[in-house]
Structure formats: C-alpha cells, structure tokens
Structure 1
C-alpha cells in the first residue's frame, strides 16, 4: 500500500474519532475535535500531493480519497445534528448524505468499467463550502461550551445563534446542485453501467 493511501485511510479513522469527540458536547473535547479537523484537512492535501509527486496515483486512491472526504463531512454534520442547541435541519443532513452516497456509488461503477472520475470544479466548490460550514459551526459550538464566557463572547453567541442552521442549509444546497451537475456530466457512463448501451 502506498504512503498516500495510508494517509487516506488514516483520515477515515480520524473521521470516526472526530465524530465521537464532537458528540461529547464538552469544551475540551471540542477543542480536540477542532485540532483533529485541521489535521484531517491537511491530510487531504498531503495524500494527493504525495501521490502525484511520487507517481503513485492508484485506482484505490482515486476512489478512497474522495470517499474519505465524504465520510469526514458526514461524520461532522451528523455529530452537529445530534446537538439540539445548534438547530441543524435534518433535511439538510439527509440531502448531503444522499448526494455523497450517490456520487460514491458512481465512482465505484466507473471504476468497475476502468473509468476514473476526476474531481470537477463544482465538486471542489462543494467541498470548500462544506468545510467552511463545518469549521464555522464547530467554532460556534466551542464558544457555546466555553467555561465562564465573557460578556463579549455571550453577545457573539447570541448573534450567531441561527448561523449553524443557515450554514448547513447552504452547504446542503450547494451539495445537491453539484451532485446534479456530476450526474449530468457522467450520464453516458451511467447508461452504460445500467446496460442501456445500444448496439450499432
């Protein structure tokens, strides 16, 4: 197994750890979760960079790397949804999960036909939107859990009370749109995988 793939698998493990840290709803656990989120985010860049510079890009990596990103995103949003004070809409989480599972399935179908579906601009923008939302929501959660917060922090908490709802809703909207674009761009491959290819 290549170094890049090992890092990708490590990110999958971090996602599980991150989920359990967030749902503890404790200030210090949330700080630890924030640090792990940073490490996981950096690892996403590092594994791709290593794979390219060492010429060790593999089919496994092409599928596992984006899959690890999706698991990380879903782990965070599911953990956030379990915390009532954040007021995360379940419909947004549902849409994100459905989209991510659909695209992951498409990648597997493509791999079975020796196609490698590369990341697209819409997908990259989607990932950026998701991670910005996750970082901001986690920061808000940390502020809410602060022991003996100052008056300024209390005011900030009050002003950002509804922000997690809108951040997750925006992330869900962008996620669904990028999924529609993805399916549209690879419709021919889908028809082929479903056995709808016509004989000429």
Structure 2
C-alpha cells in the first residue's frame, strides 16, 4: 500500500497518509478495475475494507473523489517514472526499449490503479482536471516522439517515418496491456513488451 502512497503523492515523511486511507484507495482501485466504476458502490468499498460507510465517507465524500485522485496520480506518475529512466545519451533504439520496458514495469507495479485510471480518463466532467491529465499524458508521449525522432536522425529508422503514427503504435502496444494481460499468464508484462519492441524494430518479415 505504501507504493500507492508514492504513486499518488500522498503525504510525506513527517505526515504520511493513514493506513486506512491507503486501504480504501487500494480496495477501490481493484473494485473499479474488476467491476467497473458504475458497478462498484461506496457500500462495496466499505464492505471490502471491513469498515462502516460512515468511516468511508469520513475519508472520501464519494467514489468520484477516489477515482479522480487515482486517475490524476497515475497519469502524472507514469510520466515521471519514464522521464527518470530515459537517458538521451543512449542509442535511440536502446532508449525505445527502456521506454517500453519501464512502462510495463510501472503497469505491473500499479496494475489496479492503472486499470482504474484508464476507465476514468475520458469521463471526468471537470474540464480543468481532464486538461491537467491530458497535459501529463502529452508529456509522456512527447518523450516517445523524441526517441523516435532521434532514431530517424540517427539512421536507425527510415526517413519518411510518420513520428505521430509510430508513437501511437508503440503506445497502443503497451497501453492495451490493460485489456488483456493476465498476471497468471506464461509471460510477464515486461517479457511481452520486450517482444513487442523486437517486432516493432525488426518487423514481421523473415530475414532474407
């Protein structure tokens, strides 16, 4: 649960968030991800936490408040995670692999929060909050486009590559892990993304 506190930037060393609040957020993320935002009620969250609804409402006024915190925190944190691991001094193709692998590592570590955030990303009626999340998402995608642009300039990718379309392809390969990836499968998310990287870089054609 402390990982979730780090993800959402809750409290600090002197004033850490309560274990109860972290428990609520952890349970809510899992329920939102498995039952859907509309399918998970405040009663469900309270029952899973083993607390009364009054105690739950003491921490959060409604489930929208929970999901908005998770959605903003996840979108911001994935960018900060990638930015911390990106090294422009590396060859562009190595940077691309780091980008994809670290995205997968982040997904594995914060899977429930990512799934819950993905469900809410486009549905928040508060325009200001939605704009803030889009700004963090755009920063994340800008790192990827910078890597692809460097690969073209370095001669690693063809000169006529559409950077925007290539970026969407890479992002889709990682982001859609949320739809079909199973932790109990034969491959980890990182192993899957490593294969995605090799397929994107090498293509599907058999070497001649």
TM-score range, shorter chain: 0.3 to 0.5
Higher relative contact order (CA 8 A, sep 6+): 1
Please report the TM-score for the alignment, with normalisation by the length of structure 1.
Answer: 0.37
